């Protein structure tokens, strides 16, 4: 596909951080939330929140890249 090793490592790190943050969000719901969700399914919630956060991060990175590209084009 043409991705460098550095790019792949960076994306794996971003994914791992997002999954960890998603697990912490699910843990926060478990400890502080008033929902009656079954405790056995919090692993799935952690993965779901992690993937959701990963998608938000990727959208943010894409928007930043587009905005940064527009600024450098306008200066030329």
Please return the burial class of 2, using the count of CB atoms within 10 Å of its CB with bins 0-12, 13-18 and 19+: exposed
pTM of the model: 0.77
Tens-place pLDDT, residues 18-62: 999 999 998 888 888 777 778 788 888 889 999 999 999 999 999
Q: Residue 14 has what pLDDT? A: 95
């Amino acid at each position: 596909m043409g991705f460098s090793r550095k790019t792949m490592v960076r994306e794996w790190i971003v994914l791992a951080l997002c999954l960890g943050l998603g697990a912490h969000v699910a843990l926060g719901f478990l400890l502080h939330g008033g929902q009656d969700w079954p405790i056995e399914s919090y692993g799935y919630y952690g993965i779901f929140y992690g993937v959701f956060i990963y998608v938000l991060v990727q959208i943010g990175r894409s928007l930043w890249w587009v905005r940064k590209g527009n600024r450098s084009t306008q200066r030329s």
